[in-house]
Amino acid sequence: MKERILKNIAEIQVSGKSTIELYNEISSAVMREISFTAPATDKKSAYYLSIEFLIGRMFYNNLLELDILHETEEILKAKGADISLFEMIEDAALGNGGLGRLAACFIDSAAGLNLPVYGRGIRYKYGLFKQKFEDGFQEELPDDWQSFGDPWGVRRESEARIVKFADGEVRAVPYDVPIIGKERINALRLYQAEGDEKAEKISEYLYPADDTEEGKLLRLRQEYFLSAAAVGELIDAYVALHGTDFSSFPVYNAIQLNDTHPVLSVAEFVRILTSTYSVSFSKAVSIAKQVFNYTNHTILPEALECWPQDYIRKLLPEIYTILKKFDAAEHREFRRNGVSKADEEAMSILRNDTFSMANLAVYIAHRVNGVAKIHTGILKDSLFRPAYAFAPEKFVNITNGITQRRWLQLCNEEFSALIDRKIGCGWRENIGLLSELKKFGNEDSVIAEFAQIKEKKKEQLADYVYRKEKIRLLPGGIVYAQVKRLHEYKRQLMTAFAILEIYEKLKKGDLEDFRPAVFLFGAKSAPSYFRAKGIIKFINEIAKKIAADDCVNKKLQVVFVTDYNVSYAEKIVAGSDVSLQVSTAGLEASGTGNMKFMMNGAVTCGTMDGANIEIVEQAGRENNYIFGADVEEIKALSRGKYDPNAILKSDDAARNAVNTLTDGTFDDGGRGYFKELYDSLTVGASWHKPDHYFILRDLPDYVEALLRINKEAGTKEFTQKQFINAASSAYFSSDRSIREYAEKIWEL
């Protein structure tokens, strides 16, 4: 196959063709020769249902997986073309953040491990949105990623199916995208909604604005559309092979629900079995409990979806009936087993006239997993405590992971080559071998070469940022990076205040021998998230102020990159020195950005939260920069009389930084963003106390950690810390994660 593909590529005429034409011709040359690995008819397969698959740019990754990337580069070079041309091709905009990127890493690892795991998602026309800044404000534009063509998606017209709503029908047309491993090519199946204008809105945008009833109903349509298409397909395939005795369905199928968005598939499964095949409700539920599994990704209440029962009744009347039956069955089961009234209510599927998708998932799931040790502990001890007490065997931990093939081999060829020379190439497929790198941590020549690679990757990052933003990064600076979804609990605002404190110290001459420092931000705010949009504007105002100050701008720089995506991340994780992972302890389920930075040799400056805790376990606290309140202290502060205004009164530096929100230092154009942020810290709101995310508690510790890094950066000892982090990152491969899913949950 490899030889045929390369022959096809070699026959392509390059001269006179646009980059897009070449991209489509080379991609098509690959697609003509590959074939998908079909699910086995006599063995179990797993299906990963996710509203997001943030797969990124597929061109380079697919050539890498087929082991033809460098040969293709040489063929193009001989024809006078540069393979880097294809960096202009936009990422497939099918996800937002960690949820979708995790799903992409998982299906990549499954193919790499020769496991029958198949993704199911939605083929969005525009995906999330393309972000641009106008005077520092985020603006959202449609991101028509398909305008470059979609040579990787294979339309399966004959397998289209009908999804029914109370007010009409929608065609779900599948497109299969190849997920390439060494021994198999799995299909990521993405459904496109077709029909009238209302129908096609279902797959138009990822996460349509839900600040209106119309927007909420559209999200509900999306979730049911995915659920019904995927479950209906699997049931039809089973019946064709095994008939209508569904007792063996769990022998051949495991379904993983990636967060709550696809949880309606549980109700759809039971609906089809009971209404189409006359299976009793109790039998259908019993089968479902052996098939479905649920991954929880957050403890934030607003992310634990609850659908008003009126919405379900109006749009999906048959599903409404099934959900009511689920709720009644759960209550009977709890009462029969002596569960207390309080615990019964806490885990009720129907609560306050809404259906809780998380409670439904926990009730039905064969296994429920958290995504980091601390997160799973919180699920057991707090969020789902009654369910854990009732059925502890359901709950398992599987810490998230990332694919080393994209996040090290592809995005950091130079470091990968160094690793190959020292320990061989086996780590690319057997990531556990990476730990052998630790023995070189005290070898001066290796550390020196690693330092040179870090500098080269920073230069490449600077070139990329200049091409994208027309901003030149400070040469020779320490690169601190905070790139992730914009949310208050992730505390980008705290980083902004820390930068302001450092800025003031530099202005006063309090920081001698301060190494130039670049703070890189990348994030998108949900279009209707007022505070998050305010934080973006605030950071851009800080960046503008520092850039205009000739007393400081050779020492300090802030850059908020536009339209942060997977391709941008590949450059940033390889070119950064410091990974800022500063969420309020107990609120970040895991994180995967922290793992990508670690694998590329960045130290973590962060709180004891999510997977940071396990990073410290693997690489050592002494090789990272941990600060701030831990989960127990946050709990105590939440129960006590935490007073952020007292902190502001006693801490001049913090007060001065926070006051810039309202004292005229910065301008939000009269939109009220900055006053809202100020009030969130000092007054609170109807739904939270002042400084709900404890920014002011952790800010002094954070500034101290950032300055300690600045003092130590550039030394051999600091570079050794970076190297040890990379050498200790094998545990965070998604290969390990997927093996655990296959063994602990899917029983493949």
> Catalytic residues, which ones?
297, 484-485, 490, 592, 596
Q: Is 140 helix (H, G, I), strand (E, B) or coil?
A: strand
On whether the CB atoms of residues 252 and 45 are closer than 8 A, the answer is yes
Phi, psi (rounded to 5 degrees) for 510: -85, -10
Q: Is 584 helix (H, G, I), strand (E, B) or coil?
A: coil
- Burial classification of residue 441, based on how many CB atoms lie within 10 Å of its CB (0-12 exposed, 13-18 middle, 19 or more buried): middle
Q: Is 118 helix (H, G, I), strand (E, B) or coil?
A: strand
**Secondary structure E strands in 34-184:** 45-49, 117-122, 130-134, 137-141, 154-155, 161-165, 168-180
Please name the residue ranges forming H helices in 665-712: 673-682, 695-712
On whether the CB atoms of residues 623 and 718 are closer than 8 A, the answer is no
Reference 737, options 409, 397, 294; nearest CA is 397
Residue by residue, DSSP assigns 417-449 as HHHHHHH-SGGGT-GGGGGGGGGGTT-HHHHHH
Amino acid letter, residue 658: V
Q: Characterize the bridge pairing of strands 154-155 and 161-165.
A: unpaired
CA dist 3 → 62, 594, 601 (Å): 15, 38, 35
**189, β-bridge pairs:** 120, 176
- State in Å, rounded, how far the first CA of the chain is from the last one: 28
Residue by residue, DSSP assigns 293-337 as EEE-----GGGS-EEEHHHHHHH-HHHHHHHHHHHHHHHHHHHHT
Measured distance CA(550)–CA(506) in Å, rounded: 12
**Per-residue tokens: 69:** 């990337």
**Per-residue tokens: 57:** 């740019």
